[in-house]
Amino acid sequence: MRVGRWSVVVGVAAAIVACADQRRNERGGAGPAQKGIVPGAPPAIRVIADVSRGEWRMAAGDYGSLRYSTLDAINTSNVKDLRVITTFSTGVPRGHEGQPLVVNNTMYVVTPFPNNLIAVDLTKPGGAIKWIYEPHPNPVSVGIACCDVVNRGAAYVDGRIIYNLLDAHTVAVDAESGRELWRTKVGEINLGETITGAPVVIKDKVIVGDSGAEMGVRGYVAALDVKSGKELWRAFNTGPDSEVKIGPKFKAFYAKDQGKDLGVTTWQGEQWKLGGSTVWGWISYDPETNSFFYGTANPGVWNPDLRPGDNKWSCSLMARDGDTGELRWAFQFTAHDAWDYDEIMENILVDMEYGGRMRKLVVHPGRTGFVYVLDRETGELLSAETFEPTNWASKYDLKTGKPQEDPTKRTQYGKVTQGICPSSTGAKDVTPSAFSPRTGLVYIPAHNTCMDYEAIDANYIAGTPYLGADVKMYPGPGGYQGELVAWDVAHNRKAWGVREPVLPVYSGVLATGGDIGFYSGIELWKFHCASGIVGNPITYLGPDGRQYVAIYSGIGGWMGAVAFSDISADDPYAALGVVGAMKEIKKYTAPGSTVYVFGF
């Protein structure tokens, strides 16, 4: 499931490989796996919420963002016999960055813009379309979206499929009939706000976040009522404490993140109103502490000299109360970001033995090139180690929570800073990792891409790009550009990796109770799909009781969009600089729109 060569990577919809040499659960993978120990996992590793056991009801599969399923019918001994069971086209040849849902023997597929929702009856031979919901979002949003017209998925709750539209609306659709139940306007496309992320349902609330940090918007999360769609509250990521929802219960661990109205005072003038810090990635939730976690994007305007200060709460990890949205703690990864290091990546929640005792952890594989491990109750940084070539900083001081930066890699106005690693696309991007409780490893789809960066002038005009940088990217050192990294959380180190010489690993990862994963070790099987893959695999039990695997094939997204015919591969600065790193992609893949289902 890598974006790369046809014969090895681009067409690999399910390159399934051994995660580790662990014993299998012979009782079958569909059994109980509520909060606690997953079958086959050591007592020192406990999941914080139910993981996938046969259905796939939310984007990440579970609240802890493990992307792990207990199913084990497909395993290392028989995976070589996998074959295509069925395919169908969504009819939208753009980036398919999400994943299907499977609930009550029905598969639900959300397309890129125009964001159609397709319901497939899995009880029929080969699957049959039950209905298609067409929301007809405002086409103006297409010209506003930063990095392709992608959608990262839906959530199922109480007979409803809930998901976001590119034109900054959220919709709820009756899962049985396809009838629209409600539609809520969340953002203003005239200001550059879109929504590409997947929602998360917490109790009776739908949590959504906005996209558009490159348009000078202001980031937030909003809570909508599940039944009516009514907005219940909104929490901004920049601005005064009252609007960020910072009150007396806010307890930042580090002095650097403590103080009054930091969302204003760490910006110059009213730049915080254009401060980016959007929420276009993934949201995790801990039912025990009733806290949800998400990372924020880059600060508004890429030129750091136009926004003096730490620019809070950009590039930060936020922990909020699941009922009120009140901020409990925050940790800023990079103050005064100078590289476009969004930290909207997944936050993996797990309880495990760490440093000699059981800890409640949040594991964040960062765009910066570091894997961060924090205490999810306090926000204390427990570890930060690099997983790909990284030179903007050498390490983090765990006492202060601050990185030790290389001042020669700081970008500034009117100067080309060369050889920065990783690039703005990060050592990984929004494509999510997986965690196996059986192995204790996080499987990270990684990039090895570096860049030259020059900060330039930028003027704000509502609804237009607000960038302020010329960027050129290219493959990093070592003769490879992508890697599947297996990260040992307990020991803060890389266990092993599988490198890709030509292009980044730019698809999500799945781990299962059969001790197999998608791109997680020694290759056991692969299949050549019609288009490159930037989506995320899922696994489920069909109505016949058999295990299946599903994946979207359709190149796109920021890096993958270089495959489109309307983007020239001759200008290395095009597409926010990513063309220089992806100029070879047109040789290997073209747009597509196919959903693949594999089984025996």
> Annotated active-site positions, please?
214, 298, 340
375 forms beta bridges with 361
Distance CA 347, CA 361 (A): 10
Is residue 510 within 8 A of residue 539, CB to CB? The reply is yes
* R_g over Cα of the chain: 22
**What phi and psi, each to the nearest 5 degrees, are found at residue 409?**
-100, 5
Is residue 531 within 8 A of residue 556, CB to CB? The reply is no
Distance CA 376, CA 289 (A): 9
Distance CA 44, CA 354 (A): 9
Tracing tokens 């976040």 back to the chain, one arrives at 209
Q: Which of 254, 395, 353 is nearest to 312 (CA)?
A: 254
Distance CA 10, CA 562 (A): 14
**What phi and psi, each to the nearest 5 degrees, are found at residue 5?**
-65, 145
Strands 511-512 and 68-69: parallel
Two structure tokens written together for 426:
């990060």
CB atoms within 10 A of CB 402: 17
Distance CA 465, CA 445 (A): 28
Residue type, 526: K
Strands (E), 357-468: 357-365, 370-375, 381-386, 393-397, 402-405, 416-420, 434-436, 441-447, 449-455
469 forms beta bridges with 455
H helices of 211-312, where? 241-244, 262-265
- 403 three-class SS: strand
Is residue 218 within 8 A of residue 243, CB to CB? The reply is no
**What phi and psi, each to the nearest 5 degrees, are found at residue 81?**
-95, 5
CB atoms within 10 A of CB 27: 11
Distance CA 454, CA 424 (A): 12
